[in-house]
Structure 1
Amino acid sequence: MEEEYYSSSFPMAKPTKIMRTSIFLFLQNFQHFTSTPTLLAVPFAVSILLSQPLIASSPLFPLIHGRLRSLLVAADFPPSLGLFAILNLKLSQTILSFLFALPFTLSFLLLSKASTITTLFHKNAIFSWISIHNPLLITQSCNSIVVLSANATCFCVLLVFFNSSDVLGLSSPRTLLLLSATGAIIYSIILANAYVVCNLSLIVSGIEKRGGANAILKACLLVRGRTATALSLAVPMNMALAAVEALFQYRVVRAYNRGIGLDCYIVLEAMLVAYMYGALIVLDTIVGSVFLKSCRTDFYRQIEIQERDYEKCFLGKEKKLELVM
């Protein structure tokens, strides 16, 4: 494994240091990262950016929205609750967006990540970024199961909350509002942790060229005790991606809805925004790689410290036995 991009004196625990190092790596190979990996991510970026306006006009949206509403009502969620409407709307949009972007996720997004990981860890390997696509594909399939399980867990927790409040007679508006806020926080924490683990598992599978559940388990092991740092890195990257999505809605979708039409300037502006989105995806992969390197360094250092303490303890016991003898 090639590690010329990393100093032997890593570990970096602070998110600011990890972010600065990631930006430095991005700028150090600016011409490469803004060419092949970013261009590979552009089709996925276009699918994500177009998914929001297409979902609103899709005939499948009312169908999925109604099905989810019936499911939530059958699970005894209070229909009059604000969280009920928000959860139903967001889940419907997420499902349609996921289905719309799935072919681009399994192809262009994974190829972009593979190209970025190859530059960071397998620079001397020729066309190795194509060879690690299959491990990434297997890991991404397992990640979908993890995200689905995380959502199911959140539903179970919310269901227990609201059913327990009915049994205990705590059905006042303030109590339901408090339960809704608590449920929203728990939902966000579980999904954020699932996102971090899934993102790291793709990098692990790209480095080791082996995909599947083992990559997810290794990512869970490495991120243990470093969740706060991982979330501190994930939040600004997701905010940047959300800002680009908002820019696309404001500059492209808004102009189209006002009847201006798709002239060449709007198309070029849309492609530029999609290119910005792809560059952020590449930067996010670099941030995850640097964070993973820091986690592995800390992990192995902890093992060395434990082995050293064990040897000291063992040698101390031997000396005591010699004195007794």
Structure 2
Amino acid sequence: MDSGTKILRRSLHAFFNNYHHFAFAASFIILPFSFFLLLSQSLPFFPQPTIHLAFSSRLRLIFASAGFPSNWPFFSLLNSKLSQSIFSFLLTLPFSLSSLLLCKAFVIRTIIHLPSNRNLCTLYKSLLHTHFFNLFVVLFSNAAVFSLLFLFFNTFGALNLTASHVIFALSALGVILYSIIVANTSVACNVACVVAVVEKRGGYMAIIKSLVLLRGGAATAVAVSLPASIGTAAIEALFQFRVVRPFKISGNLHTGGLFEGLLIAYMYSVVVVVDTIVTCMVYKSFKKSCDHSDFDSYGDILERKQRILEA
């Protein structure tokens, strides 16, 4: 297994070595997804942001009924972030199922050097199947975190340990726990997309094989994905500052602001492309260092069980 620095260096080398291919993917394939994702996080552009407010109020009621201290900043921030994520997910779902998956299939085929008979349509079907299972895994991981937080807060509440410093410590622990689980889930789902394209194992098989592949090296995979996460967060903040803030002040969107928004969306697309390349390099590095006999035999056992269940 290569180090994180080596994986990042190989990823940047692969990106600049095939820059014209990846620039095409960022400019035409994934650009609609990036633009609407940034736009969905800018609620002042929409005439009726009541959907977002409805999500926020429902989540606030759920937190209050579960016994969470909703007046604390952690849960206010979590409520705002979750409602925004749900709103963005619903608004960008058609683009994530089309342009995002097509871009990932294009980048993975370029990096892994798949045969020419593996066209994008075939790769897209495996990727789409895996994407739906990834959504279920993300939903399950969030539910697991909230269940643990519910258990912690209600246990300490039953013991009358409701002092401010105890609640603050539990909130800090919740932030750390949530960040770790979400980061590992995101990495496993991204590697599952690569497995689905390369090994033609779509659906839950790709997720299981990605978990086997990342066994013992999840920390390295999370570390190499961190720069892309920081980059996307910085670009989202830039879009808010350069596009949304002038719109709030003036009340209208100029042509220059629209083109600047498209440029920022292109920057976001490039970061997504680079993140996909990094995931491919993680897959290649971990697959090379993995015990192929155990890895393949485990997948064969799962496939035999699947055939028995289908029969």
Question: 2:114, 2:198 within 8 Å by CA — same for their partners in 1?
Answer: no
Partner of 2:187: 196
1:74 aligns to 2:65 (yes or no):
yes
Structure 1 residues 72 and 56, CA gap change in structure 2 (3 angstroms): farther
Residues 257-297 of structure 1 show CA distances to partners (whole Å, capped at 9, x for unaligned) of 22273333222211111111111111111000001111111
Does structure 1 residue 91 correspond to structure 2 residue 99? no
Corresponding letter in the other structure for 1:236? P
**Which whole-Å deviations, capped at 9, do the CAs of 1:295-318 have from their partners, x for residues lacking one?**
1111037969xxxxxxxxxxxxxx
Distance in 2 (CA, whole Å) between partners of 1:202 and 1:151 is 20
Aligned partner (choices 200, 203, 215) of residue 209 of structure 1: 200
Residue 42 of structure 2 is aligned to residue 53 of structure 1: yes
Task: Give aligned pairs, total.
Answer: 293
Classify 1:173/1:56 alpha carbon distance in 2 versus 1 (closer, same or farther; 3 Å). farther
TM (norm. structure 2) is 0.89
**Counterpart contact for 1:55–1:93, Cα < 8 Å:** no
In structure 2, the residue matched to 1:307 is none
Give the direction of change, closer, same or farther, for the CA distance of 1:201–1:276 in structure 2 (3 Å limit).
Answer: same
Give me the whole-angstrom Cα distance separating, in 2, the residues matched to 1:55 and 1:100: 15
- Cα distance in 1 between the residues matched to 2:148 and 2:184: 16
1:30 is the counterpart of 2:30: no
CA distance in 1, matches of 2:178, 2:160: 24
Counterpart Cα distance in 2 of 1:209 and 1:263: 46
Q: In the alignment, which residue of structure 1 is the partner of 2:231?
A: 240
Distance 2:52 2:247 in 1: 21
- The structure with more radius of gyration: 1
8 A Cα contact 2:33 2:92, kept in partner: yes
Distance verdict in 2 for CA 1:131–1:303, change over 3 Å: closer
Distance 2:286 2:54 in 1: 44
Separation in structure 2 between the aligned mates of residue 169 and residue 15 of structure 1, nearest angstrom: 45
The letter of the residue matching 1:95 is I
Deviates more, 1:15-24 or 1:36-45: 36-45
Distance 2:233 2:126 in 1: 28
Q: Which amino acid aligns with 1:49?
A: L
Identical counterparts, % of pairs: 40
Shift of 1:226: 0.7
1:321 corresponds in structure 2 to none
Distance 1:206 1:263 in 2: 42
Structure 2: which 5+ runs fail to align? 296-311
SS at match of 1:35: helix
Give unmatched runs, 5+ long, in structure 1. Answer: 1-10, 305-325
State whether residues 26 and 266 of structure 2, in contact with CA within 8 Å, keep that contact through their aligned partners in structure 1.
Answer: no
